[in-house]
Every structure is written in C-alpha cells, then in structure tokens.
Chain A
C-alpha cells in the first residue's frame, strides 16, 4: 500500500534538506523493520519548503502465533499432574481455557503456558506512532526555536500531510494534525492542493507550479540552460556544487540568461566567477574556455515574460562587478612586496606572532624542503613565493571575497611581472582546500603548500590548541589532509619526522609545549589523518593499520605499503604468510634482542633458512628503501616454505640456551625485515575476529 508524507516548512537550507532526507529514509526503514512490516519501496523527495517520504508497505503485520509462559511446572501442577492453585490462577489471569494449557520447554526448565494467535497490527497504526518519532528525531547542522515553544527544528513547520492507502493517517507532529492537503508555490499558486497518493500529489503540485522531485528540477535546469545557450554555441561553466544547491533552492526552476557590460571582461576569470557565484548564485558562460559577457541564473518562478527578473539580476551583478573592479584597480596601486610589509600588523596567532613572522618561517622551511626533495633549482622561486604569499590578505579583494586568498596574490604578482613559477606558487599555495580539490601543479607551489600547512599545524599543536570532536578552529585536519594529499599526489619523498624537527627548530622558542611532545602529537595526528584518508579510499582498516605499523617516515610509503598489501590480499599465499608472521610475533613477544651466530646453527633447516634470509634480505632491502614494497613483499613471501619446514623440524625453545638464543635471533631478524614493509600482525584473516579500532577523527 502506498505511503506518502510531506512535512511543510519555511525555506530550508540545501545542506539541511540533504541531512533530513537521509535521516527520514533511515528512520522510517528502521521503524518498519522493527515493527516487522514489509517495505516494498521507500524513497524521499524534497523542495526548499517540503520534506517528502514516499513508500510502498504491506498493509499490516503478519498474524503470528505467540507463546505465553506462566509459572514453572513444579509450581503450576501438583504431584498428581493436576493444576495447582497457581496454575489455575495463571489461566484465569490470562483469560484462557484450562484445556488449552500445555507444557513449554525452555532452556531454564519446563513451564506452564499456552499458544495464542496474535493479530498483526495494521501498518496505519504503526505509522501513526512512528511519524512523530521519526520527525521528532531529525537533527540539522543548526537548529532554531520560534514563537513560544522550546521545540527546535531547522526552520518553522507549517503542515503535515500523511496518507497511507489513500487515507489520512491519524497522527500529528508538534501540533500539526496530519491531513491529505498541502499548498502550491508560494507566489504562483499558494492555494490548497489535495493528494490521496503520490501520483495525485505529484501532478497536483505540478499544476500548482511545484516540481517535487529534485531530479526533475535538475533536468529542467540543465535543459533550459542548454536551450538558452544554444544560439551562442556556449556552455555554462560546470559547477556541480552550485547546481545541486540551486536544485534544492527552488520549487519551480526558471533559467534566466543575462548579460553584463563587456568592459568587465578585463577582470580576471577568478574574480568574475567569484563575484557571480558568491551571493548571487550565478553560472559563468564560456565558449572554448573563454568567458563571455553573459550569466545564467536560476529563478524560482513560472516565467519572465517582462524580462524583469533578468534585468534585476543584471543590475545587481553590474554593481558587484563595479565593486570588484574598484578593488582590482585599487589593489594594484600598491606592489605586493610593499604590501607584505603590512603583515607585521596582522596577527597569525597570539603566541605564534604575526603573518610577517610566519612569512620568515616559511622562507626557511621551503628552502629546507627544496634541498631534501633534490630540487635546488626551485629554491629561489619557492623562497620568493613564500615572501609574497600572504600579502594578498591585505588586499580589498580578499577582504571582500575571502575565498580568493592565494589566487589573488598570484594574479597580482603576475600583473607586476614576477616570474611565472613564483606567481603560480603563490596562486596555488592554499591548495588543496579539501580532499576533492587538486594539489598544486607546480613544484614550488607544492613545496610552499606543504610548508604553510606544516607551519600552522606544528604552531597550533605547539601552543596547546587541540583538535577534539567537531571542534577544529585552526583547520588542522584540513591542513594535515592537504600535506598528505600533496605528498601522495605528487609522489614527494621526504622524511616526515625530519621535516617536523625542522619546522620545530624554525619556531625557536615561540612554542609553549615541549618539542618532543609536539613531535609525538604531530606524528599521532598525521597517522590518524592518513588512516582516515586511506580508509576513505576504500582500503581495509586492518591493512591500513598494518601499513601504519612501521610508523610514518615517508608519507608516500604509507600508501605504497597499503597498496602492496591490498594487491596481495586475495592471493592464496597471503593468509598462510600472515599466520606465519603472527606466529613469529607471538613467539618473540616480550623477549629481549638476541644475536645470531652462524656457527651455532645445529639443524639443516635452520641453516637453510638463515642463508635464504641473507639472500632475500639483501635483495629486499634496496626495494624497501625506495618504497617498492610490492616487489619486496613478493620476494619475502618466498621464505614461507622454508619457515614451514623450520617450524616443523626445529624446536625454537631448545634446552640449550645458546642454541635457543640463536634461533630466536634468527626469527627476530625475519620479524625486523617484515616490519620494514608492514606490521603483518595487524591483519585480520579468516577465522579471526578483531574489533575495529577507534580511529581518531
């Protein structure tokens, strides 16, 4: 039977709609599952003013037989097998004929009881109770109160439509009695709309200028955009995020094409598109990657026959572009180098000094990184970029459009004629802004990006700012993800702990937390972030644990380790090898280091294992050193047959202490070599169970 629910509200933000529909679907699924009601279909729809659940559920619960248990048989019956007063009392209290009583066997013993048919509850009754529970449990990124009630929700509620099998469900939520009526578009058709099922709801609303399905609205937007641009042979610059938001911002999309004076095309693309996107939610129009003096907006309206919506948007955009040009012209009157002097008045963090201090630190750190990465030729550019990169924080443009920070500096540097790689490094040094964002494309840009983020992380942790739960005021997680992503994307090989030492040294005595403590905290923090990133890429958590086992020295090696493990996880060799590695670990657990003396080997099998180890070890070492863990692992796996025979034929814990120590030493050097690749003991194999460790988030 068909179920339809619509909660009508004041305009919800797009992010709240996304959060709500997910919770609604999960909430109803859970309620129905718990009530043993078959769910044939369940989905959600939404507009800014409506959260909608539509489904197809069984009419009611299946009738079923249930067993009612009474007192233990020893009490319920006398020695003669006749019912005792307790047994009779049970029958009476349950209203059941004594002839229907029978013995119920349970693990705890025998009881008096009986079976009865339980009639399934109708789904409508289940829903009547479930609706206020599911709606009442919705949470949003930011909640509010209104009028005189303490109730909190995303925005005020205006109505509840809830029908099952064509009839209104007898339920209510926050004082709104469920009915079978809603209303149309706020401006175009605000009158009532009746709905007995999804089809009539959908079509009734469509007549009232509300397109209830976000997928339909998205298609309308894309089709109208294409139609509007066809005569120009142009395209809207793709902005999937903006498109998704706009789809959730309107009930009846209307694409409006507008123009702006061509003279503003002299502004950089970045500035134009930001001015259009921020605040006014407009798409840029491009042909062959060149910006045209047009824009596309998405209105919530039926038509623009008089062109008033277009003209209104044109006027607003023109004013914004006039402001942007005012900033662009004024900013360029002061050279970046001169502007950078003003950074001494801008505080980076109370204990960590000004942005000028930060700039000086960055110059040192990028120099170090250029040396370590073997790119001395990039040094001059990277250092120059470091000295300029924060100057744009003082420009009018960045004060107005903070999202342009870095990029603006790069553009202004280009205008002033700085070398191209300096401009590019400044331009891209905030990248990547998220795990989805691209890493810097240039070497100096990548280096400056890492240096800037490391400086922020070490500084913040060094003055005791901690990341906990949802609180991350300094953006440390984003910065750490950025460092890891740049290293991984660009395959940069540098020792992470040594970089930490360097950044700590550059901070001199600013930090309030001891260096060793900061370093440990940073290593733990990065291990946690790498775990998060690798699990997000789909690697199994135990493989990630194994890859992190040897510690974070080279960031790129952590990925290479987990890839090597992942590539082999389904090979037949894998499991026996893991078990072998665990066996070695178990034997060695808690034992002091032992030395190998080749003369002390007694058995043929241990001598063979030893010589195999020497050969394999000398082959594997260079591979490990250059991060080729897949090949190293492949070679080391060859030890397995020899190890098998060793364990079959040789008693490790020999009576003779010297022989025993020698055998333990042999196993220790194998364990050590294994740990050069991964901590295999972390890997969970068939037949074992391990609780997932809590990752730090």
Chain B
C-alpha cells in the first residue's frame, strides 16, 4: 500500500462516515487543526464532519534529509466530527481495519495525551494512539478553541500519514516509502527537505521575517476591526509560520517567545469571539 493508497483509503472511509472531503489549505500551517475547515467550523453550534490532507510545516524538525523519521514538512490526515459520536473509538478502530491492519496481531493503545496549541488558544483531552509503540494518531476531544468553550464538543482525529505508512510498509526510513507505485517519498521530498532545512536554520532572513511578522500582525488586527475574519485569520497563520521560522533560526529569546505567542493568541481569540457573535472581543 502506497501513501497515495492510504490517502484514498482514508478518504473513502471517512466519506462513508458522512465527512465532506476538503482540499488542502493553501497556506503554511503547523497542523491540520489550524486551517479554517477546523478552526472556524468547530466554533459554532452546527454539526460538522470533514476529512482532509494537510501538509504541516515544523521548521525546527528539519534534519537536512538525514534523519529517517524527522522532516520539516509532513502530511496529516485530519478528521473533525461534531458532535463527537458515541462510538467514535470503534469507528476509528474500524478505519484502521479498513486499511488492512489485522489488529489481532498488534498492540493498539490509547495513551493519555492532552493536546494543546497555545498559539490558537486551543486545547483538548484525549490520547495519542500507539500501534506497537508507534504513535500513529492524535485523538482529541476538543474542549476549547480561540479561547472559547466548544459546545457541542468536536472530536479531532489526526493521522500522521508518514508514520502510518512506515508501519504499513514495515520500513525504517521515511525516504524509502512509496508515494505511488513508481514515485518514492525520496523522489518527491528529499531535495525539499535539504533546501528547506538550510533555509529554516541558516538562510532565512531574520530581518525580513521580523518585518513580515509585524506587518501580518498589524494587518490581522486591522482586518479583524473590519470584521473580515477569514482574511484576518490568514494573517494570524502567516504570523505563526514566521514565528516558527524565527524560532528555528534561533532568533527568539525565551521571553520574546512567550510574548509573540501571546500576541498571536490575542488576535486569534479576538477573531473567534467576533465569529461567534461577541462584539469587539476586548
């Protein structure tokens, strides 16, 4: 089974659960949670079911293509079901079986892990799902997002596609994975990992990144003031990615780090409050 088959399998499975299959969001994000298909849609009271692939950028995880597990960009399969169905754990287990995993021969564990993302004022309660010791999924009952208590509660299921694929192909090196029958992960990604590691750690201009961070921050505030909430949120995502790059460049001290994260969070929380009908979010 290739990465491509895995994606198709998950698409088929979650479409069968009534999910709308969204397309990848076209901005750099650190996780599938951050895209509007999750962020905005979990805030209101309406039912929502969505599944999508989201490339996730973590500049600090770059290893110049030399580490068999870590990459500065990986792919997540993100599922949101709101409200969380009663049998969701069984449904999830079924999704693994649908990929051809004979769970009777393996050790499947739901291991306590409470996910949080301070940048977007979000946290939840749940587990990391381990398959023979390998973390394949983050499973979270979302409690708060943009600083707002979520009701109904959505469940978020995030599969790490490369991890799961390494399990399925029984391979030790991420670059040995098959993306399709004749395109390997190495073909697709190795050069990208090398160049972006260089960029993330040494080549990126700190001056430019700082200016970009500040400009996007101002713009987010300005747009939120006009109630243009989706564009304002895009600006927050840009802030977040610029921040991650500055961090991997080693340009951020501990205090500054806390300050910048809280700046982004304040903007995001304000957008969430406006979106849910709060007035100015002050």
Contacts and interface: CB of A to CB of B under 8 A. Distances in A.
Interface of A: 10-11, 13-14, 48, 142, 144-148, 150, 155-156, 158, 186-188, 249-250, 254, 256, 279-280, 282, 297, 299-302, 304-306, 308-309, 311-313, 315-319, 322-323, 326, 345-347, 350
A188 B105 CA distance: 9
A316 B133 contact: yes
Interface in B117-158: 124-125, 127, 131-135, 141, 143, 151-153, 155
A522 to B, nearest CB: 26
Contacts, number: 113
A312 B167 CA distance: 8
Nearest to B89: A10
B69 A299 contact: no
B108 to A, nearest CB: 6
A70 to B, nearest CB: 53
B182 interface: no
B172 interface: yes
The 5 closest A-B pairs by CB, nearest first: A312-B132, A299-B107, A13-B112, A144-B125, A11-B110
Contacts of A147: 83-86, 152-153
Contact of B143 (A144, A299, A305, A346): A144
Nearest to B134: A316
A309 B143 CA distance: 33
B95 interface: no
B67 interface: yes
Nearest to A13: B112
B279 interface: no
A602 to B, nearest CB: 73
B109 A249 contact: yes
B106 interface: yes
B253 A345 contact: yes
A20 to B, nearest CB: 14
B70 interface: yes
Most buried by A among B83, B110, B155: B110
Given A312-B167, A319-B68, A319-B172, A145 B141 contact: yes
Given A323-B69, A347-B253, A146 B151 contact: no
B93 interface: yes
B208 interface: no
Contacts of A319: 68-69, 172
B112 A346 contact: no
Given A144-B153, A311-B132, 16 more contacts: A14-B112, A146-B84, A147-B86, A148-B153, A249-B109, A299-B107, A311-B170, A312-B167, A313-B133, A317-B133, A319-B172, A322-B69, A323-B69, A323-B70, A326-B67, A346-B253
A250 to B, nearest CB: 8
B141 A144 contact: yes
A322 B66 CA distance: 11
Contacts of A297: 133
A280 B83 CA distance: 31
B111 interface: yes
A460 B125 CA distance: 31
Contact of B103 (A156, A187, A249, A280): A187
Contact of A10 (B109, B110, B253): B110
Interface string B165-176: 011001010000
A578 B127 CA distance: 58
B172 A254 contact: no
A212 B280 CA distance: 54
B134 A312 contact: yes
Contacts of B106: 301, 308-309, 312
Nearest to A157: B86
B206 to A, nearest CB: 14
A306 B106 CA distance: 9
A280 B141 contact: no
A148 B107 contact: no
B217 to A, nearest CB: 21
Contact of B127 (A11, A146, A322): A11
Contacts of A256: 107
A313 B83 contact: no
A315 B103 CA distance: 18
Contact of A146 (B108, B135, B141, B166): B141
A186 B108 contact: yes
Contacts of B153: 144-148
A148 B86 contact: no
B26 interface: no
A150 B153 CA distance: 9
A284 to B, nearest CB: 15
A322 B105 contact: no
Contacts of B181: none
Given A308-B132, A318-B172, A347 B107 contact: no
A13 B143 CA distance: 18
Contacts of A305: 105
Nearest to A306: B105
Nearest to A48: B110
Interface in B64-104: 67-70, 83-86, 89, 93, 103-104
A341 B200 CA distance: 24
Given A322-B68, A345-B253, A346-B253, A142 B114 contact: yes
Nearest to A158: B86
B223 to A, nearest CB: 31
Contacts of A304: 105
Contacts of B141: 144-146, 156
15 contacts: A10-B89, A11-B112, A144-B125, A146-B83, A147-B83, A147-B85, A147-B153, A148-B152, A156-B141, A186-B89, A187-B104, A308-B106, A316-B132, A318-B172, A345-B253
A279 B128 CA distance: 10
A260 B259 CA distance: 43
A308 B254 contact: no
A187 B135 CA distance: 18
Contacts of B143: 144-145
Contacts of A186: 89, 93, 108
A145 B134 CA distance: 28
Contact of B107 (A14, A279, A300, A315): A300
A187 B133 contact: no
B105 A315 contact: no
Contacts of A249: 109, 111
A313 B124 CA distance: 27
A316 B153 CA distance: 33
B127 A148 contact: no
A256 B172 CA distance: 20
Nearest to B254: A347
A146 B152 CA distance: 7
Contacts of A300: 107-109
B48 to A, nearest CB: 13
B255 interface: yes
A153 to B, nearest CB: 10
A186 B167 CA distance: 21
A147 B253 CA distance: 40
Contacts of A282: 133
Contacts of B255: 347, 350
Contact of B83 (A148, A155, A316): A148
Contacts of B69: 319, 322-323
Most buried by A among B132, B135, B143, B253: B132
Contacts of A322: 67-69
A10 B143 CA distance: 17
Contacts of B112: 11, 13-14
Contacts of A280: 133
B83 A308 contact: no
Contacts of A150: 151
Interface in B222-252: none
Nearest to A301: B107
Contacts of B83: 146-148
A69 B103 CA distance: 69
Contacts of B85: 147
Interface in B33-75: 67-70
Contacts of B166: 315
